[in-house]
Amino acid sequence: MASDDAAAVGVVGGWASPFVMRVCVALRLKGVAYEFLQEEPGKKSELLLASNPVHKQIPVLLHGGRPVCESLVILQYVDEAFSGARPPILPADPYDRAVHRFWAEYADAKLPMALRTLRGMIDGDKAAAAEQVAAALAQLEEAFTACSKGQRFFAGDDIGFLDIVLGSYVGWFRAAERITGQTVLDEMRMPRLAAWAARFCGHEAVRDVMPDAGRLVEFGEALRAALAANANAQRM
Ligand SMILES: N[C@@H](CCC(=O)N[C@@H](CS)C(=O)NCC(=O)O)C(=O)O
């Protein structure tokens, strides 16, 4: 990527990461063309280490060669830096913005570790993890009812910040359902959220970057095997 081009946009990421998907959806919503810089699973490129030396994690947004890290920070940056003709990603009202940020942080606090446990990526109590995901989704069903006020998405009739944050986990909910054989997004217990998830996945900014559940399951298995092989090699 030409770092001296002030307009060039790149995403350092991996196709299977929910955090990376958020950035791609936001850029697509804004109509911003970007180069996807795929990291090799289980490894960290020089570009990643140089552009996110603190956390060494994906995603990193590169804008004119300057890095922006952490998916929630990136979403807000994209909203401000590409404010042009497309509607804002965050709600206009400061109180609504605070509420949406609250639920986004809630989702990120409750879901990723429990989903990693369900997928077998980390050791832990799978039944407790399933309960934690179910309890969080029940809360988020209520949040959806309160925030959407009968509209199609959290902030109205198009997708916005909270849709992108929570929606990025939908592929992994479906992968976890395949791995455990148990329903995660239960249409009986959370009918509004289940219908919202289907709408989110069908949105034109999401469709092409929402990972397929079967591919995610295969990816998880391959990554687990590669990490185990690495750990064994280090012990030798
Ligand atoms: N809080 C970060 C989380 C990013 C994250 O967990 N990225 C994972 C990929 S899904 C990663 O880079 N893992 C490798 C590592 O932690 O070493 C964000 O929202 O951007």
Burial class (CB in 10 A: 0-12, 13-18, 19+), 77: middle
How much is the pLDDT for 63?
97
Q: Is 57 in the pocket of ligand 1 (CB under 6 A)?
A: yes
For the chain, the C-alpha Rg in angstroms (whole number) is 18
50-81 residue pLDDT tens = 999 999 999 999 999 999 999 999 999 999 99
pLDDT more than 90, % of the chain = 87
Name the maximum alpha-carbon separation found in the chain: 59
Q: Is 158 in the pocket of ligand 1 (CB under 6 A)?
A: no
Mean pLDDT confidence for 28-48: 96
Mean pLDDT of the chain: 94
Q: Is 70 in the pocket of ligand 1 (CB under 6 A)?
A: yes
Peptide bond preceding 59: is omega within 30 degrees of 0, i.e. cis? yes
What structural domains does the chain harbor?
A: 9-81 (3.40.30.10), 94-213 (1.20.1050.10)
Q: Which residues touch 230 (CB under 8 Å, ≥6 apart)?
A: 42
Spatial strand order of the sheet with 35-38 comes to: 35-38, 9-13, 60-63, 66-69
Mean pLDDT confidence for 192-196: 97
Atom 10 in ligand 1: residue holding the nearest Cα: 17
Half-sphere exposure of 150 (CA within 13 A, CB side): 0
How much is the pLDDT for 79?
97
124-182 residue pLDDT tens = 999 999 999 999 999 999 999 999 999 999 999 999 999 999 999 999 999 999 999 99
- Model pTM greater than 0.85? yes
Q: Which of 22, 40, 55 to mutate to test the pocket of ligand 1 (most atoms within 8 A of CB)?
A: 55
